Copies of this chain bind each other. A is one copy, B any other.
């Protein structure tokens, strides 16, 4: 059995609070027990107890921490930070800092969760503006991990390398790949092409002595091909790529509907095709939730409008991350990156002092 862990749960987040969260926890109860996972459940004790009464097998795995304060789904991050202390979301994250839990899961509002997690746990590297958002992009070979898809709009070369380090550790922990391959999103595969920050990140990934299976540049169509396991890009480009893909999936769906409704046979075909497309859209949309990468601690966002199965999935991701070498791998590679960068600076300084002499 893996090392026992405690996962801290915000029971009040999302559209349905405990009535989705508790059934979600109950869904995986056999798995949690087998894996040594137990829960600290934060929120309205009476409502949580009422839901738990239906799942006697779950109750012994849970310790409930009562609070009445809840952060609303539409509260601005700044407001949530000001008045959120003691809320179920806040307490779920705080439990990590206090060492009482090894991971937290919330389906509360993303902006508030990001801001409060950053405030309480701090970023693993001080230059990261906010946690990176990662999606598992469906491909014909499985899933490609793509990050950042929207949190960090301006990224220099070092931030891109940070994402490579975090995305690789995430992909290994969650998708079980031994040596995940990494690609850097660019406009061509040749070394001389692309933006300067991307070329500099390429150099760092190639020469920085990091323990990564880096494969070089990839292009937009590699995202869907599964050419590599992890694709790294800045939050601006990643967000545009993700939303463009959603738009294309929706457009294809509408075109097919139009093309396929002319006869009974076509209608049946359309019905089947619609199912395939809906699955695609569901898979491509980061709604199922994902971790906020780059924090000193494991925080997983579950989809606010999701169902019990979605919440159970998010808890599973949190357990995968907490029971793997995820955190230590990131720390080791970030240290290596810092060393490589200061070596580079030392070289520059040496050259500069030679010129002075």
Contacts and interface: CB of A to CB of B under 8 A. Distances in A.
Contact of A195 (B196, B236, B260): B236
Nearest to A194: B153
Contacts of A250: 221, 224-225
Given A195-B236, A224-B251, A248-B224, A243 B272 contact: no
Interface string A106-143: 00000000000000000000000000000000111000
A241 B140 CA distance: 19
A176 interface: no
A35 to B, nearest CB: 32
Interface residues of A, number: 55
Interface stretch (A20-28, A162-170, A261-269): A261-269
Interface string A176-199: 000000000101000001111000
Contact of A236 (B138, B237, B270): B237
A211 B78 CA distance: 39
A187 B272 contact: no
A283 to B, nearest CB: 10
Number of this chain's copies in the complex: 2
A154 B186 CA distance: 12
B247 A244 contact: no
A17 B239 CA distance: 41
A187 B239 contact: yes
Contacts of A223: 244, 247
Given A220-B247, A240-B219, A245-B245, A266 B259 contact: no
A140 B265 contact: no
B237 A221 contact: no
Most buried by B among A240, A265, A270, A272: A240
B269 A154 contact: no
A187 B269 CA distance: 36
Given A221-B243, A269-B272, 5 more contacts: A153-B195, A223-B244, A225-B247, A225-B250, A260-B276
23 contacts: A140-B255, A153-B194, A153-B195, A220-B241, A220-B246, A222-B247, A223-B244, A237-B237, A240-B240, A244-B245, A245-B245, A248-B248, A248-B249, A248-B284, A251-B280, A252-B280, A255-B276, A256-B277, A259-B273, A259-B276, A260-B273, A269-B269, A269-B270
Interface of A: 138-140, 150, 153-154, 185, 187, 193-196, 219-225, 233, 235-237, 239-252, 254-256, 259-260, 265-266, 268-270, 272-273, 275-277, 279-280, 284
Closest 6 CB pairs of A and B: A269-B269, A220-B243, A224-B247, A221-B247, A220-B244, A224-B251
